[in-house]
Amino acid sequence: MKPTKSCILTLFLLFAALAPSAQADRKIEQQKRVIAALEQKIAAEEREISKLKEGRAATEERIRRLARQIDSRNQLLEETEKQARLLRGEIDRTDSVAGDLGRSLDRNRTQYAEMVREAYRNYRHNNYLTYIFSSRDFADMARKLTNLREVASMRERKLQDIAALSKQVAEEKELLDRRKRSLDSVTLKLKAQKQKLERDARNARTSIRQLSQKEKTALQRKISQEQQLDVAIGELRKLTKGNKEGDSFSTKTTGLRLPVTAGRVKRYKENMAEITGPKGAHVISIYDGKVVDVKRNRITNKYDVYVAHGEYITSYANMGSICVEKGQKVARNAQLGTIGSAVNIMTMETEYKLVFGIYPPNPGQKLRAENCFKK
């Protein structure tokens, strides 16, 4: 016997509820692991800061570590906000699924009630006997008995549908309650993390006021060096020797877009450019090329991407996320990832920036980053 349209609809609703939920659970669990790793890192940084003794050198080290911790807290806030967005999306989806299942359950209950009333009316008025005894012959009687059995089976299947839907509605409502409790917990964590971030920034600003201008400049230079590329460009030059991807790039190339959408240059320094932009801004390849390496900076926990254009290399440091991999060809203005957060050591304010660099095949050749972006 073929299933009715109602049975098919019920099965569809049940499967539609299960598949996205499992996928969302995996994403939420993955996000929890990311957050747990960041929380462990921050806890370790707090322990290290608490061990520092008084004195000028200790003050400088405390500021450096606080700057790193503030940046880690910013990353933690971003990841926690991402988890909150996932949970809100799941709450909306689960609420919608529970609503659809609930309406289907109501329809099935209404249909079943009508079936029972009809069966009772037929029984009370002896309609079943009249129906059977009106048969023309034994074959017709057998067909009518089969029809009556099918009607009884339909009622039984409808009852099974109601039981399955009732269970699923209860499960979806329970899941919805769990999601809401999780979101409440995440919201409280976000509030606490923001307060700790403000506390760290206040402590860092207090420590900075104890330094002379000369010491501040030296400290700024030291932290800037930590944010530079954590790889030997010389080794990459060996890898790009003879490369033909994007080989029209040269020292005369000008008029290129900044590698950060809606970005602005904070400062140029020879072959480097520090470019700031809005949170989540895309980082793009300034020219056709091939990704020759992707690194994760062990100090800042940000990504560094290296793209070869012929035998020239461009570097994109302090990226918060990436969407390319080693060996991948990239077109001019193709997205590499998103800009990463950083802490302005003088103000302890969070900013989003990219450290861009360009390297010619000959180490002795002088190349200025600003020339690439001249109109």
The predicted pLDDT at position 3 comes to 45
Say if residue 53's pLDDT is above 70. Answer: no
Give the mean pLDDT of 155-182.
86
Name which of 120-134, 167-181, 287-301 the model is least confident about: 120-134
Q: What is the pLDDT of residue 1?
A: 37
Report d(CA 13, CA 11) in Å as an integer.
5
Name residue 330's beta-bridge partners. Answer: 289
Mean pLDDT of 132-141: 81
- Give the Cβ contact number of residue 240 at 10 Å: 23
Q: What is the DSSP string of 39-65?
A: HHHHHHHHHHHHH--SSHHHHHHHHHH
pLDDT at res. 20: 65
* Better-predicted residue by pLDDT, 136 or 17: 136
210-227 pLDDT per residue, tens:
777 777 776 666 666 555
Which residues face 219 on adjacent strands? none
The model's pTM is: 0.62
Q: How far is CA 359 from the centre of its chain?
A: 32
Q: Maximum distance among all alpha carbons in the chain?
A: 112
* Count helices and strands in the chain by DSSP H and E runs: 7, 9
| pLDDT at res. 335 | 96
Alpha-carbon torsion angle 99, 101, 106, 108, nearest 10: 160
Residues above pLDDT 90, as percent of the chain: 16
Distance CA(162)–CA(169), nearest Å, equals: 10
pLDDT value of position 9: 55
Mean pLDDT across 313-332: 92
**Average pLDDT over all residues of the chain:** 81
The pLDDT, as a whole number, for residue 333 is: 92
pLDDT of residue 232: 56
CATH number for the region 230-372 comes to: 2.70.70.10
Given a contact cutoff of 8 angstroms between Cβ atoms, the answer to whether 301 and 319 are in contact is no
Asked whether 368 and 271 are in contact (CB, 8 A), the reply is: yes
Residue 74 pLDDT level (bands cut at 50, 70, 90): confident
> d(Cα 108, Cα 101) in Å, to the nearest integer?
10
Angle (nearest 5°) at CA 297 between 314 and 192? 125
Higher pLDDT, 355 or 20: 355
Q: How crowded is the C-beta side of 346, counted as CA atoms within 13 Å?
A: 10
Position 137, amino acid: D
Pairing mode of beta strands 312-322, 282-284: unpaired
Cβ atoms 308, 243 nearer than 8 A? yes
Looking at residue 242, the DSSP 8-state letter turns out to be T
Q: Map out the domains of the chain as residue ranges.
A: 5-208, 230-372
pLDDT at 303: 93
Residue 285, pLDDT score? 94
Least confident of 218-227, 310-319, 362-371: 218-227
Q: How many CB atoms lie within 10 A of CB 174?
A: 12
What is the rounded distance in angstroms from the CA atom of residue 256 to the CA atom of residue 79?
33
